[in-house]
Structure 1
Amino acid sequence: MATEMATVQQDMNRQDATAPTATPPTATAPSVTRPFVTEARRIVVKVGSSSLTTAAGGLDADRVDALVDVLAKVRSGGEKEIVLVSSGAIAAGLAPLGLTRRPKDLARQQAAASVGQGLLVARYTASFARYGVRVGQVLLTTDDTSRRAHYRNAYRTLDQLLAMGALPVVNENDTVATDEIRFGDNDRLAALVAHLVRADLLVLLSDVDGLYDGDPAKPGTSRIAEVGGPRDIAHVEIGSAGKAGVGTGGMVTKVEAARIAAAAGIPVVLTSASRAADALAGRDTGTYFQRTGRRSADRLLWLAHASTPQGSLGLDEGAVRAVVEGKKSLLAAGIAAVEGDFVAGDPVELRDSAGRPVARGLVNFDAKELPRMLGRSTPELARELGPEYEREVVHRDDLVVLG
């Protein structure tokens, strides 16, 4: 690591002339029209792999430095805090391992992440050091965030880093994550981190300068400046990951992340990394997603969007009404079927008689315990099986209604 840091520092010593410009040299900078941005104190910024690396893999030092220049300036007055959710670990590890494209198999993805994560953090550490800013690496998996104790630890770590003046650099822990316990993309992770740290704003940076009403590469399409809710873009055909092959997202994941954050009461700006300065200055660039909801209980957002159900419970009609309409806990008496191999504390889906998911929750019993409990009242279970069975199968505090 010392050798890598020395190399990074040597690269950085050259004059940085690549800071992102808000507009072309001949254009007039947009005026400040988004006061909610300038008023935001705690901001989560997410940057994608394609904005940090070359198409062949490997970090682009100038791009990293350009982003750091913008973020360091935003927080320089001491009034704003930045949490950076950064992709790029797998992409950064491609070239050093002789890979030309992102591998499809999980083992080689993990190997590339192992090599690339060290390079990525070393680059950020050296680049932010030019401004006297310390960075702290935080790697997360869904298991770290959907379970109560792990969730609290994630929040405390991020909050303490910010309190001590450090800048957290968050990424998914690709070196150990499996397909079953992955966020799937860092756009969704960024939306959930924004909710976790109680951010005032989420900024999603990519290689496209906003959401368009069609393919932005084709003539006749226009940037959508503002989205008030899902209905505003129901007619828009949204594209997937780009041609570079170094990332996993695309506009689909960014719009979904914006929807999650907006529904949790957090406004979102989606734009390109080259326009980051304008976006963070509150200028009319990219696409602004208005808040569509209020902040919910912290863990419930993670449970709804970050957890992977390990099984399912089939509910009778009465239980569906109690859970969905009455906001009640789920009792054994209302369960008709059990599927999956889960243990107490795992997330499970709650389904109606037609098999449709109606809710998700953290179960209090192992799958092997439940069959003998089905359809039976809580007092009856306590009498026959013991007092430890006198509790809800899924408590309402650990349950979120879907849809």
Structure 2
Amino acid sequence: MVMREQIITAARVVVKVGSSSLATPAGELDVRRLRELADVLADRVALGQQVVLVTSGAVAAGIGPLGLPGRPRALATQQAAASVGQGLLLAHYTEAFRNRGITVGQVLLTSGDLTRRAHYSNARNTLECLLSFDVVPIVNENDTVATHRHGDNDRLAALVGHLIKADAVFLFSDIDALYDGPPDLPGSRTIEHVANAEDLEGLVIGGVGSSVGSGGMATKVNAAIIATQGGIPVVLTSSELAAEALRGEAVGTLFSPSDRPLSARYLWLAHAAGVEGALVLDDGAVAAVVQRRKSLLPAGIVEVRGDFTSGRPVDLVDRRGRVVARGLSAYDAAELPAMLGRSTRELAAELGPEFEREVVHADDLVVLAPGSGA
């Protein structure tokens, strides 16, 4: 098994726990399991480790009070259950940690909250301040307004890891590790270590979560990749093995961090930024952006899709519809159609010097498909 020095010595960690680890078979919140998790995390805090908890469970906590027979399928009912359950969930965590002399603070986020720089900075500053007061931040996807149904808390945990420069991320669920096939299929073997994304090629990773959760194994693996791209190791295992995992014992699946971590700006654009439109490029523009890492000029754009404002993220796609890059548009979508195929010099002469700028500057752009457009 790969040594886990980075896990053992981690001073700051993000722990994500899924609904399936906090719920009864009927889907309601299991307070006993919640308290057991809180005790494990309190032990880590007592050792001087900073812990940020990203927790599911708001919907589960609302099932009983609403008299529902199980986890609802309709998004509106899920959001109603989360609205009722959010306060109850926090109350149980507050009591469990208070019994260990620890204060908690609630931070409600969605992945979308990390798409705008001001929100991103505010979230980071809030978490840093809470940690400086020895508070355990409890982060939850804001289920009452979120529109994604599957796995946002997994992705959110990875993004929070980047946000606070965590030393490790732990993804706890009801599965003890990543397998090379369905875990309940005879012959499926545990994958103890994933060195890089190439190790996952050929694996069929499916599932959309249990009957009491929403994030399947694929969402957890994607979250692990997001975290490791930023240089953060990830351990994926069962919540029942939380104590062992946090101690650095050889449990679950370890995802090693990239030895060439990507910048925070790249990760923000590639994973956190909510795309609001697309620009279709001709072959020359694709080559300039992808191969030569040049800024995108209006002359290379053949179509504008979506309704977005300046400063918002857009996908850059080739004529075949493949996303080759992502960046921040310097113009509103409504301004661009009249500019397509024209040089910046021509536009500046006709419309004014402010139209001489690039549509997407190279500094505001990340390439997502290096081989595309070759």
* TM-score interval, smaller chain: over 0.9
Aligned residue runs from structure 1 range 276-315, under 5 A: 276-315=242-281
Alpha-carbon separation, structure 2, partners of 1:184 and 1:220: 27
Paired residue secondary structure (2:69): coil
CA distance in 2, matches of 1:139, 1:398: 28
In the alignment, which of 86, 92, 114 is matched to residue 55 of structure 2? Answer: 86
Compute the displacement of 1:231 (Å). Answer: 2.9
What's 2:130 paired with? Answer: 161
Task: Specify the alignment match of 2:16 in structure 1.
Answer: 46
Q: How big is the shift at 1:184? A: 4.6
1:377: how far off? 2.2
Question: Are 1:141 and 1:183, in contact at CA under 8 Å, matched by a contact in 2?
Answer: no
- The answer to whether residue 176 in structure 2 is matched with residue 206 in structure 1 is no
Q: CA deviation at 1:183?
A: 8.0
Whether 2:73 is the aligned partner of 1:73: answer: no
2:92 pairs with 1:118: no
Per the alignment, do residues 163 and 390 of structure 1 end up closer, same or farther by CA in structure 2, a change over 3 Å counting? farther
Matched, 1:36 2:3: no
Question: Where do residues 343-354 of structure 1 align in structure 2 (5 Å cutoff)?
Answer: 343-354=309-320
**2:348–2:355 contact (8 Å) kept in structure 1:** yes
Does the Cα contact within 8 Å between 2:151 and 2:216 map onto a contact in 1?
no
Give the match's secondary structure for 2:156.
helix
Cα distance change of structure 1 residues 304 and 183 upon mapping to structure 2, 3 Å threshold:
farther
Q: Which residue of 2 aligns with 1:12?
A: none
In the aligned structure 2, how far is the partner of 1:314 from the partner of 1:121?
45
**Contiguous gaps of at least 5 residues in structure 2:** 370-374
Structural mapping, 1:200-349, within 5 Å? 200-243=167-210, 245-349=211-315
- Equivalent residue for 2:160? 193
Give the match for residue 389 of structure 1: 355
Per-residue CA deviation, residues 309-339 of structure 1 (Å, 9 max, x unaligned), is: 2221011222212211222222212211111
Flag structure 1 segments of 5+ consecutive residues without an equivalent.
Answer: 1-30
Give, in angstroms, the shift of residue 378 of structure 1.
Answer: 2.2
User: Is residue 53–residue 138 contact of structure 2 (8 Å, CA) maintained in 1?
Assistant: yes
Q: Is the 8 A contact 2:150 2:215 kept in 1?
A: no
Structure 1 distance, partners of 2:146, 2:294, is 33
Counterparts in 2 of 1:92 and 1:299: CA distance versus 1, 3 Å: farther
State the SS of the aligned residue for 1:104: coil
Percent of aligned pairs sharing the same letter: 60
> Aligned letter for 2:173?
S
Q: Does the 8 Å CA contact 1:172/1:183 hold for their aligned counterparts? A: no
In structure 2, distance between residues paired with 1:283 and 1:314: 49
Query: What amino acid sits opposite 2:12 in the alignment?
Result: R
Q: Which one of 325, 333, 340 corresponds to residue 374 of structure 1?
A: 340
Q: State the alpha-carbon separation in 2 of the partners of residues 142 and 397 from structure 1.
A: 23
- Partner Cα separation in structure 1 for residue 219 and residue 129 of structure 2: 29
1:122 deviation in Å? 1.0
1:137 match: 106
1:381 Cα offset (Å): 2.1
- Counterpart for residue 63 of structure 1: 33
Is this contact kept in 2: 1:33–1:283, CA < 8 A? no
**Distance in 2 (alpha carbons) for counterparts of 1:304 and 1:176:** 23
The one-letter code sitting in structure 2 at the alignment partner of 1:146 is T
- Contact between 2:230 and 2:257, CA under 8 Å: does it hold in 1? yes
Higher mean displacement: 344-353 or 113-122: 344-353
